[in-house]
């Protein structure tokens, strides 16, 4: 069983940094609309939700993020790594994958 590690607010700081760095970021038809922390700010690893669009189609990707860079490196490095992973996953898509599509619009 996996146990949460207390990080003294690292998760909240990380998401705040990602929001500041990447909301509105666009490459080709992909736009980052929002980044939200779904788990408590002092719980590690964090559960983070990304709301994005590909063209006019909304997508929502929720993931638990862990790793040395996210846990201990500078917030700048962690935010940059996160965007690299996100862009790699989404960059060649023409629409959100089925698992990222919201059940209802609005």
pLDDT given at position 7:
46
The parent domain of residue 11 ranges over 5-92
Arithmetic mean of pLDDT over the chain: 89
CB 69 within 8 A of CB 77: yes
User: 88 is written with which tokens?
Assistant: 């790699």
pLDDT given at position 102:
75
| Termini Cα distance of the chain | 36
Token look-up 């959100």 returns 96
Residue 100 lies in a domain: no
Residue 17 lies in a domain: yes
pLDDT given at position 103:
64
The pTM for the full model equals: 0.84
- 22-73 residue pLDDT tens: 999 999 999 999 999 999 988 999 999 999 999 999 999 999 999 999 999 9
| Of the candidates 43, 64, 41, 61, the residue with the CA atom closest to the CA atom of residue 53 | 61
Residue 65 lies in a domain: yes
25 DSSP assignment: -
Residue 106 lies in a domain: no
- How many distinct structural domains can be found in the chain? 1
């Amino acid at each position: 069983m996996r146990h949460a590690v207390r990080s003294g607010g690292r998760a909240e700081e990380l998401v705040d940094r990602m929001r500041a760095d990447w909301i509105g970021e666009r490459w080709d038809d992909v736009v980052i609309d929002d980044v939200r922390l779904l788990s408590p700010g002092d719980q590690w690893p964090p559960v983070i939700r990304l709301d994005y669009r590909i063209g006019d189609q909304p997508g929502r990707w929720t993931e638990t993020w862990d790793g040395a860079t996210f846990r201990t490196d500078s917030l700048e490095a962690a935010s940059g790594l996160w965007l690299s992973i996100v862009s790699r996953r989404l960059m060649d898509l023409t629409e959100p994958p089925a698992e990222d599509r919201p059940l209802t619009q609005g």
